[in-house]
Chains A and B, each alone.
Chain A
Amino acid sequence: MSLFSNNRLDNSMPSHHEGTTIIARGVRVEGDFIAQGDVTIEGDVTGHVTAEGTLHIGAEAKLKAEVSADDAIIAGSIVGSVIVKKRLEIKSTARISGDVTCETVTVEAGAMMDGKISVGATATERVAE
């Protein structure tokens, strides 16, 4: 085949930004933080956090925020309500001061929580309404 016969116009390469949104240590976020896909937070956030995927809140993260996500793993500190549509995992280092609503929850020994916890499908449906 001739070298010159390939005059292709190729715009079909798939996007490769399936990666996680990362708020790393040493970074501050203020406002309505909304992310499609998974989110990892190790920094500071003030305002609202919405993740349309799995939200990982690391042990060093400090949030003063209303938090909502499809699934969440919390190891850091949150002052504000937490709404998780499906599965919530609270690690031993977590400090949550606010109401928590989720469909299922696992809590490790050592986690500190100050607020009302509503668990079950009806609880998340009630919040969605």
Chain B
Amino acid sequence: MHKGNYIFIYDEFLSDKKYERLLSNVEQRLATLDIQGRIGRLTLFRNPKDLVEGMIKGQVGSTVVIVGNDRTLERVMWFLPDLDVIVGYIPMCAPQDMGKLLGISQGVEACDVLGARSIEILDIGKLDDRYFLTEVCLPRTSAVVEIEGKYRVSAKFGGSISIRNLGNVSSGALGLSDAKDGLLEVVIKPQTNSKSRFWNRGEMPETRILMRGGSILSQEPVDVLADNFSVNGKKFQLDILKARLRVITGRRRLVSAGSGSTGGLKPIDVHGTLSK
């Protein structure tokens, strides 16, 4: 039986009465699975980095379990790759797209994923000095992506740019990239040229390019979202750190069903142990 050092980081919103029952069920299930640990609570004025670092002090290889939703995970993702920890996630409510990409169901079912302790080592993206797990995105922009210093790609009449590590969570539809290939996937969706609206032939197709690194260049300051955290500027460096974060994932993690990530998503057994 595995007994690791568990640390649970609860989001502030879980103190709301409407989550009382769900949280109680989760805690009961964790107790049944003999998963126990100290609990830290995020608050508005508490630095999450100080909280987590303070709790794992002197405990190498701790498992830090984030209990909340994608916003909670985003609040800690920017510093977790620097710590020698394994990351677990219990999504309690929407948004929980990161949970879906990691094969983790909501609430009590997530406890079983935690108990199974199937660990994957994922790449981590870097936007300047900030880590990101899912993607960097510019929803509407005329910015240019310079790829490995060799060439520049841009939408002729502007559009959205997404630079993905694990996948897309920003556009409403989930899109998955390979977070274990040491590459970032650049996805550009141009907007239609307003002058040629008469000839508009529906939705513009996506451009997809894999890269090891690059930069985003804009003539005007733009807002760039890294794991939904907004950064403003004209130039951003993009890098990928290979095999940087240990994450407990579900056995039926989503992967791309077709070539690249254009063929839709399907769940597969990434650990090769799922019973048929």
Binding site for B on A (CB under 8 A): 2-13, 15-35, 42-44, 47
Contacts and interface: CB of A to CB of B under 8 A. Distances in A.
Interface residues of B, number: 53
A3 B116 contact: yes
A10 B206 CA distance: 32
Contact of B155 (A3, A5, A13, A26): A26
Interface string B147-173: 000111111110100000000000000
B197 interface: no
8 contacts: A7-B2, A7-B119, A10-B272, A18-B260, A24-B207, A26-B155, A27-B155, A27-B156
A4 B1 contact: yes
B40 interface: no
The 7 closest A-B pairs by CB, nearest first: A19-B260, A31-B151, A26-B190, A19-B259, A15-B181, A24-B205, A4-B1
B243 to A, nearest CB: 6
Given A4-B34, A11-B180, A29 B117 contact: no
B118 A10 contact: yes
A24 B190 contact: yes
Contacts, number: 130
Contacts of A5: 1-2
Interface string B112-136: 1001111111000000000000000
Contact of B118 (A6, A15, A43): A6
Contacts of B255: 16
Contacts of B273: 6
Contacts of B240: none
Given A8-B271, A11-B121, A24-B190, A29 B151 contact: yes
A25 B204 contact: yes
Contacts of B137: none
Nearest to B115: A3
Contacts of B118: 6, 8, 10
A29 B152 contact: yes
B117 A4 contact: yes
Contacts of A42: 205
Contacts of B192: 26
B153 A17 contact: no
A26 B150 contact: no
Interface in B196-226: 204-210
A43 to B, nearest CB: 7
Contacts of A27: 153-156, 188, 190, 207
